[in-house]
Structure 1
Amino acid sequence: MQEVWAEELPVAQVRIARPTDKLLEVARFYCQGLGLGLRLLGGFESHSGYDGIMVGLPGFPYHLEFTQHEHGSPCPAPTKDNLLVLYIPDQQRINLIVARLESIGYPAVEPENPYWKAKGAITIEDPDGWRLVLMPARGIG
């Protein structure tokens, strides 16, 4: 297994960014509800009309960025198959995350693709309707 990016693509950091009209709710969902050590790593305000936050694991170069424009988001709602899949090796941890998210108003939803349910994964919608899949690591493949 390759442990670093290929020489032809020397990536130092990966950041997945998307807009939201619910910046505070999204921060609560990913940092408090999801947990897993995700932290608010930084943010900005009033940058050309945008506010934003970066969420991730301290010390790791993989981040989620959420931005909110002062005039709202021009983006359409996501489909039910726009997914962020997290492979988690501990079923008990998945159960705790699901319970914590449900306690703040985000219950599990039926996945669009039956593959996820057949593999024992749990699907939850974030405040914007984007779907998070908590997949048991034994289901990789």
Structure 2
Amino acid sequence: MKKAWSESLPAIQFRIARPTHQLQKIIEFYTNGLGLEIVGSFKNHDGYNGVMFGLPDVDYHLEFTQHLNATPILPPSDDNLLVFYMPNIEERNAMVSRLESMGYYAVEPENPYWKRNGITICDPDGWRIVLQNSNGIFKDIE
């Protein structure tokens, strides 16, 4: 059995889940564009299809679901972000180039902090992804 995070939060796994109305485009963006691995998927489970991407494994993952009768999902505010910290700027820039070749271009972040070392790109549903050139959280805050 996996070890719990702490006594006050005895969780052993963390999932961020959100709906989409264009699952195939989401799969292409997160696999071909960002390079995440699919760690699970399902079809017609109680009327839903879905896919899970590991971050970097199944202990932390993103799940996207699409109802079989999906209607367009409105994007959140411009300050709802998934931030990926990437210490190697060449690798980050290669990822940005790959996303641009797929038709996903940088957008202006709402919070100017993310312009310092980051590039913000919207996924197919309009959710914002920040590719931050940094060694990790809190190390780039002044």
Task: Establish whether TM, by shorter chain, passes 0.5.
Answer: yes
The list of structure 1 runs, each at least 4 consecutive aligned residues, that deviate by more than 4 angstroms after superposition, is: none
Q: State the Cα deviation string for residues 42-78 of structure 1 (Å, max 9, x = none).
A: 1111111100000114645110000000121475321
Unaligned runs of 5+ in 1: none
Evaluate the alpha carbon distance shift between residue 80 and residue 57 of structure 1 in structure 2; reply closer, same or farther with a 3 A threshold: closer
- Distance across 2 between alignment mates of 1:107 and 1:74: 21
Unaligned runs of 5+ in 2: none
1:18 matched to 2:18: yes
Contact kept, 8 Å, 2:50 with 2:63, in 1: the verdict is yes
Contact kept, 8 Å, 2:21 with 2:72, in 1: the verdict is no
Count of equivalent residues: 135
CA RMSD of aligned residues (A): 1.7
With normalisation by structure 1, the TM-score equals: 0.88
Name which of 107, 110, 123 aligns with 1:109: 107
- Distance across 1 between alignment mates of 2:95 and 2:69: 33
With normalisation by structure 2, the TM-score equals: 0.87
- Distance across 1 between alignment mates of 2:42 and 2:95: 28
- Distance across 2 between alignment mates of 1:120 and 1:50: 38
Task: Give the share of equivalent positions with the same residue, in percent.
Answer: 55
